[in-house]
């Protein structure tokens, strides 16, 4: 998949972008479904190992220049704090916002990043992306447990999970 995505996290009075291993759906978005992070998120948030990068609202365009923006706010973020982001001119100028490609993620559903939670997130994301983009998907998700000497491990095989984002 060549489509890009950014995971934006209003966290109280702080705004952050999240990587592929911080929970909030990052594992499902970047690894399972296969969205690519934009260059800046890839370099500064994922490749650096930071996984959580607090940013100013003014820098949001540089981090959230993506085909789809996933928005997952902290459950303690007030309505006023969230509105300060989504009502801003910077937010309204994001390509994904202008093209109605913002997906709001439920904090409780996307908070955890254990294997069982990620499996549920993959299916939830596939459903909402399909509805948002109007594109059909073909997917097969299989999971099984085995003991590889280090205890139970959940292996996930995803084949042909395709979304045409154009």
Neighbours of 127 (CB within 10 A): 11
Q: Is the pLDDT of residue 147 over 60?
A: no
- Write the pLDDT tens digit of every residue in 94-144: 999 999 888 888 877 777 777 888 888 888 888 877 776 666 655 443 333
> CA triplet 75, 76, 78: central angle to 5 degrees?
105
Over residues 88-95, mean pLDDT: 95
Kindly report the pTM of this predicted structure: 0.75
Domains of the chain and any CATH numbers: 5-134 (3.40.50.1980)
Determine the distance from the C-alpha atom of residue 132 to the mean position of all C-alpha atoms in its chain, rounded to a whole number.
Answer: 14
Task: Kindly calculate the radius of gyration of the chain based on its CA atoms and give it in whole angstroms.
Answer: 16
14, containing H or E segment: strand 14-18
Structure tokens at 110: 């996307």
Query: Is the C-alpha dihedral spanning 103, 107, 113, 119 positive or negative?
Result: negative
pLDDT score at 142: 37
Residues 47 and 119: their CA atoms lie apart, in Å, by: 24
Residue with more model confidence, 163 or 109: 109
């Amino acid at each position: 998949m060549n489509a890009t995505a950014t995971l934006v996290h209003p966290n109280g009075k702080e705004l952050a972008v999240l990587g592929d291993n911080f929970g909030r759906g990052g594992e499902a978005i970047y690894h399972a479904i296969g969205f690519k992070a934009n260059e800046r998120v890839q370099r500064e948030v994922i490749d650096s190992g930071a996984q959580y990068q607090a940013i100013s609202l003014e820098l949001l365009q540089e981090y959230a220049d993506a085909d789809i923006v996933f928005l997952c706010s902290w459950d303690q973020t007030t309505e006023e704090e969230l509105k300060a982001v989504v009502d801003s001119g910077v937010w309204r100028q994001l390509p994904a916002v202008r093209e109605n490609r913002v997906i709001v993620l439920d904090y409780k559903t996307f908070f955890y990043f254990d294997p069982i939670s990620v499996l549920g997130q993959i299916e939830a994301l596939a459903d909402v992306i399909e509805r948002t983009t109007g594109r059909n998907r073909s997917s097969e998700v299989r999971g099984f447990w085995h003991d590889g000497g280090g205890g139970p491990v959940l292996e996930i095989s995803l084949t042909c999970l395709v979304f045409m984002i154009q």
